[in-house]
Structures are given as C-alpha cells and as structure tokens.
Amino acid sequence: MVDSLTPEQRSAQMSRIRGTDTRLEVLVRKGLHARGFRYRLGGAGLPGRPDIVLPRYRTVVFVHGCFWHGHDCPLYRLPKTRPEFWADKIGKNRARDARVICELETLGWKSTIIWECSLRGARPPEQERVLDALAASIRDQKLEKRHTGEAHGSE
C-alpha cells in the first residue's frame, strides 16, 4: 500500500510524536505522587532510560505505548503501509525491552510496565484502579525485600 502523505508531510507528522512527558506518563507520575511516592525522571543512568525511577524501592516504571512496543491488544495493529519495516522495527523494540529488563534485574532493580491500553480511554475510576494496583505492587516489592532480608537501612 502506498503512503497517502508525502515524505515531508510524514516526517512532520512523525516529529510530533512525543518521546517523553506524554499524557500517560504525566498521569502515572501524578498518580504515584498523590499516593506518596517520590521518584526521579530520565532513567538515572539505568539501562533503557526508564520513565520513572523509584530509588527507595529499587523499582523502575516504563509507560509503554501499545503500538511502539507491540503489545498484544486492540491498540496494536501493524500498519498496512510498509508492514515489513514496521514488523522489524517493533520486533527490535520488543527484543530491546526484554534485554533491558534482564539488565535491570541483574542490577537488582524491579521493573513494572504500564501499558497504554490500561489507561487510554479509561474513565477516572478505572485509571485510579490501575494506579492503585501499581502502587500496591511497588509497596509489595519493598515488603518482599524486607521479609527476605534484602532491604538495607531503615525506612
């Protein structure tokens, strides 16, 4: 299938896709902050440049777009224009995501992924449930470390 836009139009359209501070990232950050979590942005020198880093919990959060990371949900659909290119690109993104998570685990960090489909289009009560579940999983990881004797220092 031929692209309906000129290369200049396509380039202009693609350049407007945000890499950081997306609406969903900001929603997750505000939700974590409201639940008492303090975090850092920009990956703090960690593999994969996580969207949110919670040093106290040794946890990172990635806010993934379903299309760009090839999530198996209704929001992911391979484009009909240049499908080989997109399949290769998204396949490489998936492989990189898996490698980064393994590297983070090796360094002793826990990783959590929040998918776009869990928040986009959801009403505020559903978004709050997702954010509550995220907060609970972060706190459970901290408790898990404390019970296994891996936590250091006082809380």
- With 80 as the cut, is the pLDDT of residue 84 above it? yes
- Alpha carbon dihedral 42, 112, 135, 125, in 10-degree steps, equals 100
Structure tokens at 17: 């896709």
Range of weakest confidence among 32-36, 74-78, 84-88, 134-138:
74-78
Q: Tell me which of 3.40.50.1820, 1.10.10.60, 3.40.960.10, 3.40.220.10 is the CATH number of domain 18-145.
A: 3.40.960.10
Residue 121, amino acid: G
pTM: 0.80
Q: What is the mean pLDDT of residues 123-147?
A: 82
Q: At what angle do helices 124-147 and 23-34 cross, to 10 degrees?
A: 60
Give the three-state DSSP class for 66: coil
Q: What is the mean pLDDT of residues 25-49?
A: 91
Range of weakest confidence among 36-45, 66-75, 86-95, 135-144:
135-144
Dihedral class, residue 119 (left if φ above 0, else alpha if ψ from -120 to 50, else beta): alpha
Residue of 15 and 114 predicted with greater confidence: 114
Distance, C-alpha 132 to centroid of its chain: 16
Q: What is the mean pLDDT of residues 53-66?
A: 93
- With 90 as the cut, is the pLDDT of residue 82 above it? no
